[in-house]
Amino acid sequence: MRQVILDTETTGLSHATGDRIIEIGCVEVIDRRLTDRTFHYYLNPERDIDAGAFAVHGLSREFLSDKPLFANIVEELIEFVDGAEIVIHNAAFDLGFLDNEFALLKRPPFRGLASKITDTLLDARQMFPGKRNSLDALCDRFSISNEHRTLHGALLDAQLLAEVYIAMTRGQEDLSIDLIDYTVNDEEAESTSKTLPTQLKIIAASADETEQHEKILSEIAKSSKKDPIWSPLGAAQS
């Protein structure tokens, strides 16, 4: 199964008022393993960046001024995602912007390229109702390091989301498949194996503890109104 984990950064919050995509990042996952294939571009939006958006991603109009237009990378994007399941955190936001970019180029909606679209934000809200389910919160919940993430970045966020998604869906697929290859050869297994201790200290219950234990068992036997399985008669009947 081929999946593309995708994220974007934008000039602002609403494509309806003219905001544009300024960064897109994708990573490829095949059979629950990250491959080496990525798709990443900074894009010239030909407009200013909202102050609030700049505070999130730190991408300025000056930095983006010599970057390609979305029209220049659209064919490569189509080739990368076509036919894959697309996984996005808060999919409505990114898909709205991507569909708008495709509409500006008089192309069918971007979402039509996907065999399936999975929104990890919606999935996380079902798994953890009432909890914070931002990408940072999910990284913390699944013990995925995001210490290197000081600002949002499309490719970095896509890579983190891939790890989060695999952690969220562990158990739905073959449990032996993961981001990390845990298999070892015989030589490695022999060198890393450890002998379990055989001389274990046995701590016996005190007289008071034994008496209390017997009282509890007696009360259980009385309430059940039959011989418990730990009594000689109950053990014989079982």
Known catalytic residues are: 152
What are the distances in angstroms from CA 115 to CA 82, 190, 222? 8, 45, 62
Strands 85-88 vs 116-119: parallel, antiparallel or unpaired = parallel
The two structure tokens encoding residue 119: 């929104």
Residue (of 17, 72, 16) closest to 43 by Cα position: 72
**CA–CA distance, 64 with 44 (Å, rounded to integer):** 5
